[in-house]
Structure 1
């Protein structure tokens, strides 16, 4: 007969109690609110479709293309219909709208991109791209959540990334470099 030593269950108890509990607001993040947008369809559409997103600017969920973008810093605008699929996978998307240039803001977004959760291939699951259509200079987006500002607070970006995967329909998926 196989016997489990009494110490083994006691050692596993803290791990079992921790299962299913997450701290949605890490310490110091109480001052930031990243409200959830209403539920939206996660259906795939053709990339030529004009019915992508959930009607928000920038979109935080909704219909999207079946392809994703590589998780890196892009120097040209990327179609929202494509990066919405990244959001569905739990990736973060960092956008900036600075026609006159804003290297200090882009540097903050690039730092946040490097600190995003990594996939099984060790690639940070986030991308950075310019977007002339967003209403502010900076947008940091997760599925159904957005942080819009004219000057990114690195602490707010850290706090938003703490919510990465939390609401995504297909969380935790790796991203191509």
Structure 2
């Protein structure tokens, strides 16, 4: 692979793995539960990105992809790919996303970045354009999943053991107090500097 292609695939794979981590360890009800006024839910994010990933990285370039039944349903145009119906298994939806990611990765590995394909609107696109489109959309929706997961059970971070997301209720309480102005800068900095894990060289 070229360095550019390797970098694009690495970044896409990382954000896809982050999204999959966001849906681990939750009940079926928690995965389906709408968590915002617009109905954002974790399994809907996964379902949506399955179509985006397979459609843009495989179908657009004449490659076979797994096409789920809901893509033939008129309700798709009214948001059907953003939530799961009662007869859709959440395990199967997550599995379908994993397969779409694997199919997309193979397309990236096997095709040249300048390969020309056809977008579903009929316009010509290159593989490079479609990788960037999928990366952008996946990153955007994984950010939504970050917030939804935190609201669901408090899990934060982009991966297991993420050092940028401390699992420390006291730290989070003080951080929030600094944001809201309940404590001033000096109080906050004194607290941070006196923490056992503080690294003065950081």
Higher strand content, 1 or 2: 1
Fold match by TM threshold 0.5: no
The bucket for the TM-score relative to the shorter chain is under 0.3
What is the TM-score when the length of structure 1 is the normalising length? 0.22
Q: TM-score, normalised by structure 2?
A: 0.20
